[in-house]
Structure 1
Amino acid sequence: MATRLSGGALRGKGSLATIARTSGANMLILLLGTLGSILTARLLGAEGKGELAAILFWPAFLASLTGFGLPTSLIFQVKRGAPLRETAAFALSLLLPISLITGAVAWALLPQWMNAYSPEAIRSAQLYTALAIPMALAVNLIAAAAQSRGRFGVYNSIRLYVPLFNLVGLVLLWMVGALTIPAATIVYLATTAIVIALALVAMRDELGLASLKGMWNRRVAGPLLGYGSRVYGTDLLGTLYGQFDKLIILALLTPRDFGIYSVIYALSRMFNVVQSAITSVVFPKITGESKEVVIASVSRAFRLSMLLMLLAVVPAMLIGSRLIGLVFGPDFAGANAAFYLLSIECIIGGGSWILASAFNAMGRPGMVLVRQIIALAATIGLFFVFTPMMGLTGLALALLCGAFIRMAISIASMKLLFDVSLSSILSGREDLKFLKDRIKSRKKAAAAAGGEAESA
């Protein structure tokens, strides 16, 4: 009975059930990514793992740079009544040629960008980057379309099936003794293409084909580009903030360092499972609501997520640090300090992004942009101070300092711009009661639905 009730609670349509399902998807994604990382680390070693990580880095980085805020703008505009089909088609008509041009430029410049890497890795990076950039932009647009319509099942499936199919492909390569860097990149390309096709089928009623007249309607294009241009700065700086550590490793450290860092960084992201789910769900849910509703929802989500993650961080860090060398191999042991710092940074940074959703939901992405500029400038400066002295540990320390800066600016901005007291953001005596009440009400609804089904 308990299992049936909890399952019914998770099948609900409320925010809490959606966050729970998205958190569960995040956990599975993390597990699948970790299994794939273990496999490639064991078979390729630290240096080979670093070369593969560098190859996979470029398309994700460049696609984020050339998205121009359109996926976020799509969610915002559709939630405010814009037609999804025409809005998505217009965004795709802009981003597709841009992605092809970006891939061609990357093909020409990657030999200079990766001059410390092997010729085989550079050739694989050129092919993978040119083909994966348009795929990454398509995935981002489809995911945004699913979020805008509350199709979080599709949204979570997109994010889940990519690492699942990747893992299956890597295991098959390993079984036949053909797991090499070029073969792995082909698996990543094929699985992404399959997931895009499946997502388009699932969203065929919402997306379909828009007419050229509807696609280039000024009433669709103007608001989409207007909000996109305002939020693009935030997205751009968020990308630079999230990826500049890899650029520093590419510039200052070795492929072996990149391999070790890719492992400990991915493991540290396990503390962002709940927070990233909250951010994904809260923004489309609160967009268009009153200021009071937005502030109350975001503040409560921030407090609860920080409480849960801080309770979990110490035991999880201790367990994770002991498993790194044992599971991934001796090449990856000895990075405990960097792992600890990255784990704490993940929690602080995740909390700051939850707070940022309040500004985006109320049409004030400019404040998030200012926050990102200040934090990015400080973090980049600290990268060049700490990394030469302390290596990967210094890199992680710089990221942690930047996360604290982002959180402090977010809290101060909410107080100044929205006239919100610090206590209403940081203190919530009724939070746990709210959480318990929501869980109880969800169980009651599930029990009632189950009773009706049995009667029928």
Structure 2
Amino acid sequence: MARRAWIRALWSDPQRAAAGRRKLEASPVAEYAGRAAEGARRRPGETGPRAVSPEPELLNHTPVKVRGPNQSPVGDWIASNAFTALVITGLTAISGVLAARALGVTGRGELAAIQIWATQLTPLALLGLGESLVYFAARKRDEIPSLTATAITIGLAGSVVAAIAGFFLIPWTLTAASGHLVGAATAFLLAIPLSVAVGLAYCPLRAVGAFGTWNVLRTVQTAMWPAVLLVAWGLGRRDAVAISHFYLVGLSTLLILIAVRVRREFPGPLRVSTKHSRELIAFGLPALMATLPDAANSRVDQIFVAAYWGVEPLGLYAVASTWSGAYATLFSALIHVVVPHVARLGTGEEQKTEFLRLWRFGVLIAGVMALATAAMAPLAVPLLFGHQFARASGLAVLLCLPSMLVVLRQLLAAGSLGLGRPRSLAKASTVALIVNVALLWLLTPRSFLLGPPLSAAIAHTVGAALLLRDMRGHLAARFKEFVPTMADAGGLQALLRTWRGRPARTSTILDDK
């Protein structure tokens, strides 16, 4: 029964989404309303949108009054996102376990080496088009098919450039690997255009408030990876090269599924527009500058481990990273809420109060999650991934600190975007990347157990400190206002009890109208 309901959410959501679009006619506010969206809003008497600026105007929209937890949709947003995040976290953990058990230490390292550059270069190929497409699709709903086609065309062009860069970078990373592994990594660069097309295809669903379908498609995309591993295992093809090929087939199949579903939602001519191209790029490039350093930071440690230590240590490091960051997807349920909620508030004082409240809750949640993850690592890593990965347990414990700093920095970044300050985010992300690369270059050759965790911890501390300083100055807040208190712990418990007692329902940002 649950399965049929889940399938209905995927294939029968057009009516609900259409109702959401009609409701949007009165107020076209997308999920990330505070991120340059309001800076391009029309003023009375203007016939077209104003020029998009990298630093958007703040609060150029109808104020929203702050309400209590029982009336605000924030709880529903977090609960809905958290449920999806739990499913995605579980699927990610299953994928890590299956990959480790199917391939072993060396094979897991080979698979990570094959995937590194395609994963790193995909955000570059996107050119910030994801956030750009969400914004313009929310403002120009009748032009969504043309906007989507234009964004995907630009993304595919960016994929060609990224793939050419990867072609030259792969031999440098895999100098110690065999020739067939270099060839497999080069072939895996096909994942870049496929991932770009998949990621952009369902962005408009967020713009029109079809969050149910959006979450389902995200879950299907995550489930595709363990499905690929199970198919490869069942066929007796338990080697990294074969699995990477199966993944490309799975990604192609997923693209067809998403294309069919999104076309049902947004019928219309798929025209590539020069005007839309200019708009999407003008909005997307500033967003790219804010997110690209973080994307590079997420895998740069593995690149250094692969270059200096080879595939077997990389396999241990990949498993340790998987375990230490397992809760990040769940924590993102809170992060996804901060941007639209803070951006929609009516006054600076309301923004300050709400962000600081969510920040203190986030510090408590991240601290508890990191401590629990570290405490369970010595038992859970060999149990889940196999005894051959027992050596990764200590590394997993060490990586829990930088993993906690990453999610807290992301929470600060979400607040910065909600306040309309992407430039401060780009600065902090860039500095963190520079510090991380410099320390990795110095420390990784000496020890892959201590070098990367220490480098990441210092880099993310520096990035978080820069964001915290900027937020304190902008909000005129004292440092102690960022520190959780016992009252915050009690408030978090009360809010959790409130959510458990409320009936389940599908919520979107439109519920606050």
TM over 0.5: yes
CA deviations on 1:332-367 (whole Å, 9 max, x unpaired) are 222333212211211221011111112223432111
Q: 1:246 aligns with which of 290, 302, 309?
A: 302
In structure 2, what is the Cα distance between the partners aligned to 1:448 and 1:48? 44
Which residue number corresponds to residue 182 of structure 2? 122
Moved over 6 A (4+): none
Q: Is the 8 A contact 2:79 2:499 kept in 1?
A: no
Measure, in 2, the Cα distance between the counterparts of 1:429 and 1:89.
Answer: 51
Using a 3 Å threshold, how does the CA distance of structure 1 residues 236 and 442 change in structure 2: closer, same or farther? closer
Structure in which a larger fraction of residues adopt helix: 1
Aligned with residue 96 of structure 1, among 131, 156, 179: 156
Match of 2:355 in 1: 298
Matched residue, 1:225: 281
CA pair 53-443 structure 1, distance change in 2 beyond 3 A: closer
Match of 1:416 in 2: 473
1:24 to 76, 83, 90: 83
Q: Give the Cα–Cα distance (whole angstroms) in 2 for the partners of residues 367 and 244 of structure 1.
A: 22
Q: What are the equivalent positions in structure 2 for 1:286-365 lying under 5 Å apart?
A: 286-287=342-343, 289-290=345-346, 291-365=348-422
What is the correspondence of 1:137-286 to structure 2 with a 5 Å cutoff?
A: 137-204=196-263, 206-210=265-269, 212=271, 215-216=272-273, 218=275, 220-286=276-342
What amino acid is aligned across from residue 157 of structure 2 in structure 1?
P
Distance 1:399 1:447 in 2: 39
Distance 1:416 1:156, change over 3 A: same
Matched residue, 1:392: 449
Query: Could you tell me which residue of structure 2 aligns to residue 367 of structure 1?
Result: 424
Partner of 2:483: 426
Q: Alpha-carbon deviation of 1:436?
A: 5.9
In structure 2, give the amino acid aligned to 1:245.
D
- 1:217 and 1:176 mapped to 2: Cα distance? 47
Secondary structure class of the residue paired with 2:327: helix
Following the alignment from structure 2 to structure 1, what is the Cα–Cα distance between the partners of residues 449 and 267?
47
Q: Tell me the equivalent position of 2:166.
A: 106
Aligned residues: 434
Change (3 A) 1:410 1:226: same
Q: Are the equivalent residues in 1 in contact too, given 2:88–2:329 (CA < 8 A)?
A: no
- What residue in structure 2 maps to residue 51 of structure 1? 110
Alpha-carbon distance, 1:210 to partner: 4.2
Range with greater deviation from structure 2 (237-246 or 329-338): 329-338
In structure 1, the residue matched to 2:45 is none
Post-superposition shift, 1:91? Answer: 1.6
2:277, 2:485 → 1: CA distance? Answer: 41
RMSD: 3.0
Distance 2:354 2:470 in 1: 17
CA 447–149 in structure 1, closer or farther in 2 if over 3 Å, else same:
closer
SS of aligned partner of 1:66:
helix
Change (3 A) 1:255 1:209: farther
Deviations 1:381-430 (A, max 9, x none): 22123222222322111111122222211111012234334344435776
Q: What is the TM-score normalised by the length of structure 2?
A: 0.76
C-alpha contact 1:382 1:398 (8 A) present in aligned 2: yes
Distance in 2 between residues matched to 1:155 and 1:348, nearest whole Å: 28
Deviation at 1:300, TM superposition (A): 2.5
Superposed CA deviations along residues 122-153 of structure 1, whole A, max 9, x for unmatched, are 22212121x21011112322353333333333
Gaps of 5+ in 2: 1-70, 507-513
| Contact 1:124-1:185 at 8 Å conserved across structures | yes
Q: Which amino acid aligns with 2:284?
A: G
- Equivalent residue number for residue 4 of structure 1: none
Deviation at residue 285 of structure 1 after TM alignment: 4.7
Cα distance in 2, alignment partners of residues 117 and 306 from structure 1: 42
**8 Å Cα contact 2:91-2:223 kept in structure 1:** yes
Question: Contact conserved, 1:282 with 1:357, CA < 8 A, in 2?
Answer: yes
Counterpart CA distance in 2 for 1:81 and 1:428 is 44
Q: Distance in 1 between matches of 2:475 and 2:263?
A: 40
Distance (whole Å) between structure 2 residues aligned to residue 22 and residue 443 of structure 1 = 15
Tell me, in whole angstroms, the C-alpha distance in 2 between the residues paired with 1:350 and 1:369: 16
Aligned equivalents of 2:356, 2:201: Cα separation in 1 = 29
User: Equivalents in 2 of 1:25, 1:148: separation in Å?
Assistant: 18
Identity %: 23
SS in 2 for 1:204: helix
Unaligned runs of 5+ in 1: 1-11, 450-456
TM-score (structure 1 length as normaliser): 0.85
Instruction: Assess, with a 3 A threshold, how the Cα gap between structure 1 residues 211 and 181 changes in structure 2: closer, same or farther.
Output: closer
Opposite residue 175 of structure 2, the aligned amino acid is N
